[in-house]
Chain A
Amino acid sequence: MILARIDGTLVASACHPSMAGTRTVVCQPLDGDGRDEGAPVLAVDPLGAGLHQRVILSTDGSATREFVKDPKSPLRNLIIGVVDAAPSARE
């Protein structure tokens, strides 16, 4: 599980069947101080998090497969929470 920030959204019509109908967002991973770390990644967003909101990502595929109800889904990253306050993350 990692801390990340929503930096954008993605539209893809040609995709794996399990991805159809799900909201896919671009997330920027953050370090403990709230600074950007590495390149942005994709994530499935069942919560409808807003732009620049901080979220918690789960990188475990089994939770995502359960969410999309497809045991053959290749998806991995799932947003499991929207952060209200992270005291160590300076903003």
Chain B
Amino acid sequence: MPRLRRGSESERESESARLAPLETSTSTSTTTLTFTVTLTFTVTVPFTFTPMRLGTVIGRVTLTQKEPVYTGGRLLIVQPWTRAQFAGAKVPPLPKGSSVIVYDELGAGLGSAIGFTEGAEAAQPFPGDAPVDAYCACIVDQLAYTPPR
């Protein structure tokens, strides 16, 4: 998406560059009209570093009609952990933050903590292309988390 936006932005910029030096002078009244079109675009890219996170399974999704690649696995509703959850806070049954749907082949149950991968790598374990955006890579047995101070 950002690439597309950047493409359209550069297109518009070139358009504005063509429009910018437009000058119309009429010989009768000797007035010069100068049009300067300035288009400013600000693209703010937020800090979105999300690959390989930990989360808690808070639900399941069942499908009757589905992509053939989904056969054999399950779809879990996973709430990604914030720093509070790493420090030991429990995930509430209805968390406030947005959850993700994770494809799981390992058999994670409700309430288990899992490590999941997001992005293009989530589709790597499948033969060929797969419309999978998050993949359960491991079920956490033990986590030793000791931040400094």
A-to-B contact residues, CB < 8 Å: 2, 5, 7-16, 19, 24, 26, 28-29, 36-43, 51-52, 59, 61, 64-65, 71-77
Contacts and interface: CB of A to CB of B under 8 A. Distances in A.
A75 B115 CA distance: 10
Given A15-B106, A39-B86, A76 B115 contact: no
Nearest to B86: A40
A46 to B, nearest CB: 15
Interface string B116-140: 0101111011000000000101111
Contacts of A40: 54, 81, 83, 86, 145
Q: How big is the B interface, by class?
A: 35 or more
A76 B146 contact: no
Interface of B: 47, 49, 51-54, 80-83, 86, 106-108, 115, 117, 119-122, 124-125, 135, 137-148
Contact of A16 (B138, B140, B143): B138
Contact of B143 (A2, A10, A36, A64): A10
A16 B83 contact: no
B121 A74 contact: yes
A9 B71 CA distance: 33
Contacts of B140: 10-12
29 contacts: A5-B148, A7-B148, A10-B138, A10-B142, A11-B140, A11-B143, A14-B106, A15-B139, A16-B106, A16-B138, A26-B143, A26-B145, A36-B83, A37-B47, A39-B86, A41-B52, A52-B148, A61-B121, A65-B124, A72-B124, A73-B121, A73-B124, A74-B122, A74-B124, A74-B125, A74-B135, A74-B137, A75-B52, A75-B117
